[in-house]
Amino acid sequence: MRITSCENYQEMSILAADLVQEEVLKKPRLLFCAATGSSPAGLYEEMGKRLSLNPGMFDGMRIIKLDEWGGVPAYHPVTCEYFIRKRLLEPLSIPEERYHSFHSDPEDPELECRVIRSTLQEEGPIDLCILGLGKNGHLGLNEPDTQLEPYCHVAQLSELSLEHKMISSMEIKPSYGITLGMEEILAARKIIFLITGKGKKDVMQKLMEKEVHPELPASFLWEHPQVDCLMDLSSMD
């Protein structure tokens, strides 16, 4: 893992956009795995700015969603679907045929997972995966456990994840999560790992111990050969 310390969130977002641009220029049709939340929001804004300077930059890029809150009405403003459409698909003019997703309130969540697994077998592996660090060390919605799931699956959400600010104001909380599995994430050719936000100092210290174990899913990134970790020092408490 290559770690770059950034003075603030803006610098982190700009550096991340530089890395994305570099990869898109190498492979215009790359498969881009999109995380949601405040960590990558600045990156996506910067990508929109790059598009205005270089029209057509993302004309071939394909996007797949990393995870979703399960049991939340479709297109509710707190869903990852809503976030990705507003922050990525619309600003970058990504058509539906280049977007691979799963529903937030499917009749059969397990079927949604099987569809995504099949999609990755056909379209993958992921070329560039954007990840943020959860306060408990989760990646996507792969929560700390004694054993981690390799493929897209229905996930039981931890209490800490249910306190996420994307959903903290909701009266009815998600009843489960849907997320790409660890093997699918780690199969990505390159990963951009964004660390920002309050309340992550303790998990950061654990991560820096470089001990790889399922109780800290993010620790598995030490096993990946191409991880750029960008750390926003201004947010470290």
Catalytic residue among 67, 68, 127, 232: 67
Task: For residues 200 and 206, give the distance between their C-alpha atoms in angstroms, rounded to a whole number.
Answer: 10
SS (H, E, C) the chain: CEEEEECCHHHHHHHHHHHHHHHHHHCCCCEEEECCCHHHHHHHHHHHHHHHHCCCCCCCCEEEECEEEECCCCCCCCCHHHHHHHHHHHHHCCCHHHEECCCCCCCCHHHHHHHHHHHHHHHCCCCEEEEECCCCCCECCECCCCCCCCCCEEECCCHHHHCCCCCCCCCCCCCEEEECCHHHHHCCCEEEEEECCCCCHHHHHHHCCCCCECCEHHHHHHHCCCEEEEEEHHHCC
Is residue 8 flagged as an active site residue? no
Is residue 143 flagged as an active site residue? yes
Catalytic residue among 136, 149, 153, 164: 136
Task: For residues 78 and 65, give the distance between their C-alpha atoms in angstroms, rounded to a whole number.
Answer: 15
Catalytic residue among 138, 149, 153, 232: 138
ω into 125 cis (within 30 of 0): yes
Is residue 138 flagged as an active site residue? yes
Catalytic residue among 46, 127, 143, 232: 143
Task: For residues 106 and 129, give the distance between their C-alpha atoms in angstroms, rounded to a whole number.
Answer: 25
Is residue 136 flagged as an active site residue? yes
Q: Indicate which residues carry an active-site annotation.
A: 67, 136, 138, 143
